[in-house]
Homo-oligomer: A and B are copies of this chain.
């Protein structure tokens, strides 16, 4: 069912400093910074030859990554995102196997403009797992 690894997301408290680590220290190609107000995060994408790293900084009150950064003030890997061909079919298959979808179970439009869902970390090896329709 799952296809490509679309991205690995790293939550950070200072996205400018984090971008500099990837651009200057690790020598990677970095995008501009985008405020995603409806998602409560500011994003920068690191383009690798085969996938992306998504840097996330909290934006506004009630950011979905605020609590993660309270627990991990130095930052840390927040989630992985896999592509699926049909997100509703994938969801129904996962739910039939007992996996839990976060929120109301309906796909939302994610940071890339495509439908996404988040799966419960406890059902996926302690790993917050996002599915994105390819």
Question: A residues touching B (Cβ–Cβ < 8 Å)?
Answer: 1-5, 8, 10, 12, 18, 21, 24-28, 48-51, 53, 55, 72, 74-77, 80, 82, 93-94, 97, 99, 121-127
Contact of B76 with A18 in the complex, beta carbons under 8 Å: no
B contact residues around A51 at 8 Å (CB): 4-5, 50-51
| Protomer copies | 2
Q: Which residue of B lies closest to A1 (CB)?
A: B27
Q: Which residue of B lies closest to A28 (CB)?
A: B2
Contact of B10 with A125 in the complex, beta carbons under 8 Å: yes
B contact residues around A125 at 8 Å (CB): 10, 12, 18, 21, 55, 74-76
Alpha-carbon distance A21/B127, docked complex (angstroms): 12
Contact of B48 with A26 in the complex, beta carbons under 8 Å: no
Alpha-carbon distance A48/B49, docked complex (angstroms): 15
A1: which of B28, B50, B77, B121 is its contact (CB, 8 Å)?
A: B28
Check A26/B126 contact, CB under 8 A, given A5-B51, A48-B2: no
Q: What are 7 A-B residue pairs whose CB atoms fall within 8 Å in the complex?
A: A1-B27, A5-B5, A5-B51, A10-B126, A10-B127, A25-B97, A74-B126
